[in-house]
């Protein structure tokens, strides 16, 4: 079983964070494919999957370029190894067992009610600090955050990486679309224990295209979706 990672980035002159991520993954024997200045995350992930020349059982990771991976190699391999099980679909650091009718996976009411799973650390640029967001104990989920997603190649192919025709935005809601489709297909998605620091405050949520894709997803999906 081989490991691959597809990372989209805006500039071939890599930031220190992206360089660190690529170096760490490569040292863990992950074959990293960098895609620079792409027009669509859906097209980029399709292209990246083809570039990997992976076997059906190989694990392919789709992740953001603004992550610092602090898990040791042994911890990383043990966590990612969850993908190898036949009934497992997509895994990642954080997600929810209850995707409500608003299709917002981090819905605070559901969070307070104990439906969310996983842990992600976030970097605060204002004071250069890191705080950990604990969503809940790791376990099976219906939807995962897109900062880091991993699955066997055969799962990605069955899910289908192309942009749904009803989505207008080229960069938004891919994670909810992919992971809920995996769940609907009968796979079991899970959160996994990865020590990751995310250098983003989630600013993209404020984009019009995010809201438009969310509304299109809601209009074309039977919600809620629950484990």
Per-residue pLDDT, 208 = 83
pLDDT bracket for residue 43 (50, 70, 90): very high
Six-digit token pair at 98? 């209850």
pLDDT bracket for residue 8 (50, 70, 90): very high
For residue 95, give the CATH number of its domain.
3.90.550.10
Contacts of 206 (CB under 8 A, 6+ apart): none
Q: Could you give the number of structural domains in the chain? A: 1
What range defines the domain where residue 191 resides? 3-226
pLDDT bracket for residue 205 (50, 70, 90): low
Per-residue pLDDT, 119 = 97
Rounded to 5°, the CA angle 201-175-217 comes to 105
pLDDT bracket for residue 203 (50, 70, 90): low
Q: What are phi and psi of 201, to 5 degrees?
A: -95, 10
How many residues are recorded in the chain? 227
The average pLDDT across 14-34 equals 97
Give pLDDT tens digits for 46-91. Answer: 999 999 999 999 999 999 999 999 999 999 999 999 999 999 999 9
The average pLDDT across 25-32 equals 98
Give pLDDT tens digits for 98-124. Answer: 999 999 999 999 999 999 999 999 988
Six-digit token pair at 26? 């490569």
d(CA 58, CA 60): 7
**Do 142 and 225 touch, CB atoms closer than 8 A?**
yes
- The answer, yes or no, to whether residue 207 has pLDDT greater than 90, is no
Q: Say what the pTM is.
A: 0.95
Q: Tell me the sheet residues that pair with 163.
A: none
The CB-side HSE value for 163 (13 A sphere, CA atoms) comes to 18
* Mean pLDDT of the chain, nearest integer: 94
- The answer, yes or no, to whether residue 173 has pLDDT greater than 80, is yes
Alpha helices in the chain (DSSP H): 16-27, 41-52, 73-80, 108-112, 153-159, 174-184, 208-219
83 versus 205: the higher-pLDDT residue is 83
Per-residue pLDDT, 170 = 93
Per-residue pLDDT, 66 = 94
Give pLDDT tens digits for 127-155. Answer: 878 889 999 999 999 999 999 999 999 99
- The answer, yes or no, to whether residue 181 has pLDDT greater than 90, is yes
């Amino acid at each position: 079983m081989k490991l691959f990672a597809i990372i989209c980035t805006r500039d071939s002159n890599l930031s220190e964070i992206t360089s660190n991520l690529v170096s760490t993954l490569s040292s863990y024997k992950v074959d990293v494919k960098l895609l620079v200045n792409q027009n669509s995350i859906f097209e980029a992930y399709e292209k990246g999957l083809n570039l990997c020349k992976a076997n059906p059982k190989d694990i392919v990771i789709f992740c953001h370029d603004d992550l610092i991976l602090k898990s040791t190699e042994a911890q990383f391999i043990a966590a990612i190894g969850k993908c190898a099980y036949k009934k497992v679909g997509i895994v990642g650091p954080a997600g929810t067992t209850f995707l409500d009718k608003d299709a917002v996976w981090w819905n605070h009411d559901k969070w307070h009610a104990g439906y969310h799973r996983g842990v992600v650390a976030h970097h605060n640029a204002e004071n250069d600090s890191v705080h950990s967001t604990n969503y809940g104990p790791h376990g099976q989920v219906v939807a995962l955050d897109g900062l880091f997603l991993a699955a066997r190649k055969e799962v990605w192919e069955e899910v289908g990486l192309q942009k749904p025709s009803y989505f207008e935005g080229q960069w938004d809601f891919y994670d909810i679309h992919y992971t809920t489709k995996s769940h609907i297909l009968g796979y079991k998605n899970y959160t996994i224990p990865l020590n990751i620091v995310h250098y983003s405050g989630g600013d993209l949520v404020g984009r019009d295209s995010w809201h438009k894709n969310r509304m299109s997803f809601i209009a074309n999906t039977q919600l809620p979706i629950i484990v």
